[in-house]
């Protein structure tokens, strides 16, 4: 026989599981500031998920996604760019971007979201005019899949890193052919690598591993910066003594 408290707790847990299944991970809900990411023990990263059905791309500050992110990323859906479903079997990570610090990561995420807004709302006609068309004059597609979505997302990522000069950026690709030719990237700012091989069943495990790698990456950069600054201070002191 269950106590009333146990029944309430069981009901609460079932409601939480149902909400997670419908809406997604709560850790991904809402915009994250620098303090939020540090409090949640998240690394300064941007995660890009591709939709296997439509080719659309979703940006996330954490290794998960939520219905709120989908609503924010597709503010003006239409028949060529429908608001995608949140089903777990439809989304696969396309790349994970590690940044040198939290300010870089937030600037990159904000830049990607603003470029998406410009493409979909403010300059929708100009954006459509640059996409490959079919015989009917619509954006080329196969079934419901439109490759222009992922191509534009990758181009926006390259532009944001170049425009803000986000040095010491490292991108892990699900498949390196997606990045295109190296001539489109600032190789003095970016290093490319591959994600560990995985299946959809273990995607969350790989994403958490990348989160830990991101934290180690930031620590290494911080230590290298402190070491180089220490060497510079020591050399300047030696020079001052020599002059004296």
Partners of residue 191 on adjacent β-strands: 170
Inside any domain, residue 229 = no
Structure confidence at residue 227 (pLDDT): 82
Structure confidence at residue 195 (pLDDT): 95
Inside any domain, residue 193 = yes
Helix axes 148-164, 102-117, angle to 10 degrees: 130
Question: Where in the sequence is the domain holding 56, given as residue range(s)?
Answer: 32-222
CA distances from 223 to 43, 98, 219 (A): 16, 16, 6
In contact, 161 and 135? CB cutoff 8 Å: no
Query: Under DSSP, is residue 175 helix (H, G, I), strand (E, B) or coil?
Result: coil
Inside any domain, residue 235 = no
Per-residue pLDDT reduced to its tens digit, 123-134 = 989 998 999 888
Inside any domain, residue 47 = yes
Residue in this structure with the two tokens 């600037």, named with its chain if needed: 107
pLDDT, greater one: 172 or 202:
172
Inside any domain, residue 25 = no
pLDDT score of 234 more than 70 = no
For β-strands 57-60 and 91-98, DSSP reports them as unpaired
Query: Under DSSP, is residue 210 helix (H, G, I), strand (E, B) or coil?
Result: helix
Inside any domain, residue 115 = yes
User: Of 159, 64, 155, 150, nearest to 108 (Cα)?
Assistant: 159
pLDDT score of 14 more than 80 = no
Paired tokens of 9: 């707790």
Q: How many domains does the chain have?
A: 1
Predicted model pTM: 0.85
Inside any domain, residue 109 = yes
Partners of residue 24 on adjacent β-strands: 66
> If pLDDT is split at 50, 70 and 90, which confidence band does 22 have?
low
Inside any domain, residue 192 = yes
Structure confidence at residue 166 (pLDDT): 97
Q: Any idea of the CA torsion for 105, 106, 112, 113, to the nearest 10 degrees?
A: 150
């Amino acid at each position: 026989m269950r106590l009333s408290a146990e029944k309430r707790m069981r009901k609460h847990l079932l409601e939480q599981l149902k909400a997670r299944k419908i809406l997604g991970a709560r850790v991904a809900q809402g915009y994250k500031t620098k303090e939020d990411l540090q409090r949640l023990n998240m690394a300064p990263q941007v995660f890009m998920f591709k939709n296997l059905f439509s080719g659309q791309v979703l940006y996330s500050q954490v290794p998960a996604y939520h219905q709120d992110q989908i609503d924010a990323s597709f503010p003006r859906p239409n028949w060529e760019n429908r608001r995608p479903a949140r089903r777990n079997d439809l989304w696969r990570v396309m790349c994970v971007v590690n940044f040198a610090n939290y300010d870089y990561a937030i600037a990159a995420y904000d830049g990607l979201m603003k470029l998406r807004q410009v493409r979909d709302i403010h300059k929708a006609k100009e954006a459509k005019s640059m996409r490959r068309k079919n015989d009917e004059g619509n954006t080329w597609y196969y079934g419901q899949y439109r490759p222009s979505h992922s191509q534009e997302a990758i181009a926006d990522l390259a532009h944001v890193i170049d425009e803000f000069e986000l040095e010491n950026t490292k991108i892990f690709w699900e498949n390196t052919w997606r990045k295109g030719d190296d001539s489109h990237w600032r190789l003095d700012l970016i290093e490319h690598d591959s994600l560990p091989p995985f299946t959809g069943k273990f995607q969350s495990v790989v994403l958490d591993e990348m989160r830990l790698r991101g934290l180690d990456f930031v620590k290494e950069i911080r230590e290298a910066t402190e070491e180089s600054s220490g060497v510079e201070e020591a050399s300047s002191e030696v020079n001052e003594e020599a002059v004296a």
